[in-house]
Amino acid sequence: MDMTKQQRAPFVEALEAYCAQHMKAYHTPGHKLGQGISDYQRRLFGDALRRDLGVMYALDDLFQPEGPLKEAMDLAADLYGAGRTFFSINGTTACIEAMILAVCADGDEIVIPREAHKSVINGLVLSGAVPVYMESRFDAARQVSLGPDLESLKAAVAAHPAAKAVLFTYPTYDGIAGNLQALTAYAHEKGLYVLVDEAHGAHFGFHPDLPAEALACGVDCVAQSTHKLAGSLTQTSMLHCRRDFPLTERVAASMNIVQSTSPHYWFLASLDSARQQLALEGREIIGRALNLARQVRKELNQILGITVFGRDIIDGHTVCGFDETKITIDFSGLGLDGVTAERELRREGIEVELVAGNHVLALITLGDTAATAEALVT
């Protein structure tokens, strides 16, 4: 990684330089830099409306980048160790659809877990690919999926030797990381492309106590929700292709299909800015989140009737890593299901990420502080 170059945010700089020219707008959007916007939107967005521009070729083109936007995506690839990185303003959904479109044609089989995100199903519909399911392991006591293991993958490939690709969810929503390196090595040995939905792992790679990032495990394409845990605006994501991936240009063409031709510059600038922050402060801010999460987990486990699993879920076989910033709070010891627990938490002003079974999922991220961590415990 080139730390000298990572100091910059080239698309942010270009956007600010353009706005400083105070060009008269005879182009979309129709509100003309906020002059015709509703009062509510003016109060909501303020001066940021000057940055809500149409497709400004002076600023670069998302689908044929040659200037500051290309430089911003190249810096993201440098940061994550990718051969090429694409910015998405249509979320990780678009990235997953693009991966599948790039590697699968109509009728091609692709191996997926049954708990795959609905964007995977969208990708199957768009590409015409046929799903082949591999079995995932389930922890009945904790009521969470552990994802597939190597035996599951081998069984699926043996039953469908013509499969073109395999897609893994890594980590799971609950922060559980499978043995992706072994799974990838076997899939490549069998001639399959390896695609990864790493929506909840964009912060991996910035602290040694987190699971290995998917690209480091040798996979071909990775879709990441930068907005979920790495500090960009909602709806912004990145798609990474490994170095020398032979279908990179097909990925680029597929991203053109699944994204709006009117990309929002706020979104693109937020990806560039989040990348810069991770490059310069990633170890510190992710480390702070980890420490807060450990304290929260410790204190919650001291409450009678409450349990929160942690690194104890790692078995070295199916589960080889765990993201400690994911706090899965089990209320079964109090006789509560997750829906009831969530309702009680909301009455106390606490909004959680996910409800399932007898638990809720709370996230501790780079945006948390000692005060927000304590509020959850309280």
What does the pLDDT average to over 145-149?
Answer: 96
What is the structure's pLDDT at 1?
A: 83
What is the structure's pLDDT at 364?
A: 98
Q: Where does the chain hold its CATH 3.90.1150.10 domain(s)?
A: 283-377
Q: Are 237 and 333 spatial neighbours (Cβ–Cβ below 8 Å)?
A: no
Share of the chain above pLDDT 70, in %: 100
Contacts of 324 (CB under 8 A, 6+ apart): 175, 209, 210, 290, 293, 294, 297, 310, 311
For tokens 């552990």, the residue is 146
The per-residue pLDDT for range 187-233, each reduced to its tens digit, is 999 999 999 999 999 999 999 999 999 999 999 999 999 999 999 99
DSSP 31: T
Structure tokens at 34: 């906020």
Q: Where does the chain hold its CATH 3.40.640.10 domain(s)?
A: 3-277
Q: Strand 307-308 to strand 326-330: parallel, antiparallel, or no bridges (unpaired)?
A: antiparallel
What is the structure's pLDDT at 178?
A: 97
Please give the mean pLDDT across all residues of the chain: 96
The per-residue pLDDT for range 72-91, each reduced to its tens digit, is 999 999 999 999 999 999 99
Of the CA atoms within 13 Å of residue 179, those in its CB half-sphere come to 19
What is the structure's pLDDT at 166?
A: 98
- Check whether domain 283-377 has CATH 3.90.1150.10, yes or no: yes
Structure pTM? Answer: 0.95
The per-residue pLDDT for range 230-287, each reduced to its tens digit, is 999 999 999 999 999 999 999 999 999 999 999 999 999 999 999 999 999 999 999 9
Residue 167 burial (C-beta neighbours within 10 Å; 0-12, 13-18, 19+): buried
**Strand, coil or helix: 45:** helix
For tokens 């959680």, the residue is 352
What is the structure's pLDDT at 57?
A: 77
Decide if pLDDT at 56 tops 80.
no
Q: Are 248 and 85 spatial neighbours (Cβ–Cβ below 8 Å)?
A: no
What does the pLDDT average to over 321-342?
Answer: 98
Q: Which amino acid is at 122?
A: N
What CATH number labels 3-277? 3.40.640.10
